[in-house]
Structure 1
Amino acid sequence: MPVRAPRICGCGHRIASGEHCPCERKRKAAYELRRVSSRERGYDSKWDKERAAFLKLNPRCARPGCGAPASVVDHIVPHKGDQRLFWSRSNWQPLCTTCHSRWKQAREKRAAKPSWES
């Protein structure tokens, strides 16, 4: 099976395919320390009630072929603080924890990928 060549991180470290640079871990940890809490981002008791009602109406994961019990209400289009988009039920989808984690991780990897690696 072919393996990608190592890459050079912006800090100068040589990073093997599929690995993360130590500077990236530090950068992510620093970001998490500065990030506001979920309650401050709008996920409060009102959200908890709306989420529960939505999952009651949509009990199964929306990912094709999954069908597992949904436990997460995902915003299809990231709201990034836009309250109208945050509360728009047409922007919500029910997902199981596994699908949400995989899908979110894949989306973040695509967003972080440099254009020359497409």
Structure 2
Amino acid sequence: MPRKALKPCKHPGCPNLTNGLYCAEHQFLHPDRPSAAKRGYGSRWQRLSKAYLRRHPLCVRCKAQGRFTASTVVDHIIPHRGDPHLMW
């Protein structure tokens, strides 16, 4: 039975071929990270972040410095670290 073709390692500049995302040399540099949905950024977060961007079209940090730049992402000012009160 044919095997899947090997792919280049995702680490910048690495020429090694691998079955996964990173070769054995770089695997330890890139630990497995849970998906965005598992970290709490599922469909509810997508919906609320889009609504927030519609209500707040300018970047808060840029605006504080007198620059007017369109906001493109929603970020927690205080890291929530799993606290639902800070998350939502």
The Cα of 1:67 is off from its aligned counterpart by 1.8
> Post-superposition, which runs of at least 4 consecutive aligned residues in structure 1 deviate over 3 A?
25-28
Cα drift, residue 27 of structure 1: 4.6
The answer to which structure has the higher strand fraction is 1
1:51 is the counterpart of 2:55: no
Structure 2 gap segments, 5+ residues each: 1-25
RMSD, aligned α-carbons: 1.7
Q: Normalized against structure 1, the TM-score is what?
A: 0.46
CA distance in 2, matches of 1:66, 1:47: 27
Which runs of 5 or more residues in structure 1 are unaligned?
Answer: 1-24, 88-118
Aligned length: 60
Larger Rg: 2
The two structures have a TM-score, normalised by structure 2, of 0.60
| Structure with the higher helix share, 1 or 2 | 1
